[in-house]
A and B are shown apart, each in its own frame.
Chain A
């Protein structure tokens, strides 16, 4: 389905319908966790979630009409940001905890068993608190997540870290349409125009934090790979390597 001309309410419905399920970890390790068991659980979850993320992306209006090259570029660029915003959304009602899966809920202190992990947990928990304070709505969340995917790689050619998109205009149209849907949703809140503008800015400013956390997380995952103590799954490796290649 094409996104051009799609009414904002329909965009919101499609985005909400595309949402992936909350998964189960199943391979529960015994506590207390070690660096190896913790990373084995987290990387296994990330690998499973990546498959659902690809299914989600294919349901975004306009995504499958992009060239395969552009689909790959966007997913490679944004995958950890998309995982992180989903994690924070799942955790919004549980202060101090991160809900990686229905049966994998971790608090900050548990992350200290992995070197360098507590710093990333702290950033994720702080940004989740910001989501909670802003009372982020499901409609706003689905827009932000789609914006993260489309924005992350859209202007990357400026930094020469990845190949340019074949059709950046098509991605920009998708981005504009989803931004319009977000603005439309906020406009129905009954707030003043000034408050609406402020909320749009507050929500979009969160994306800078998500990009920062993703960069930190990518470096951390790469260090885990280099230690060679936790076997990484093929799809996760492929996505991680894409960042190293760039």
Chain B
């Protein structure tokens, strides 16, 4: 399993320029 697949949500929240709080 790739790192990206293993950590889907964490990756998405870290990578996105929008605040994780708004994304969630």
Give chain A's interface residues, CB within 8 Å of chain B: 48, 51-52, 54-55, 58, 68-69, 71-72, 75-76, 234-235, 238-239, 241-242, 245
Contacts and interface: CB of A to CB of B under 8 A. Distances in A.
Nearest to A52: B21
Contact of A72 (B11, B20, B21): B11
Given A51-B24, A55-B20, A58-B20, A238 B9 contact: yes
Contacts of A58: 14, 20
20 contacts: A52-B20, A54-B10, A54-B13, A54-B20, A55-B19, A55-B20, A55-B21, A58-B14, A58-B20, A68-B14, A68-B15, A72-B11, A234-B9, A235-B9, A235-B10, A238-B6, A238-B10, A239-B10, A241-B6, A242-B6
Please report whether the interface of chain A is mostly helix, strand, loop or mixed according to DSSP.
helix
A245 B2 CA distance: 13
Nearest to A56: B20
Nearest to A20: B21
Chain B interface size, as a band, is 10 to 19
Contacts of B7: 72, 76, 238, 242
A62 B15 CA distance: 15
- Of A54, A55, A69, A241, most buried by chain B (CB within 10 Å of CB) is A54
A239 B11 CA distance: 11
Please report whether the interface of chain B is mostly helix, strand, loop or mixed according to DSSP.
helix
A238 B6 CA distance: 8
A124 B20 CA distance: 28
A75 B10 contact: yes
B14 A51 contact: no
Contacts of A242: 6-7
A51 B11 contact: no
A108 B18 CA distance: 39
A238 B14 contact: no
Given A51-B21, A51-B24, A55-B20, A72 B3 contact: yes
Contacts of A68: 11, 14-15
Contacts of A69: 3
A52 B19 CA distance: 9
Contact of A51 (B3, B6, B13, B15): B13
A64 to B, nearest CB: 8
A72 B14 CA distance: 8
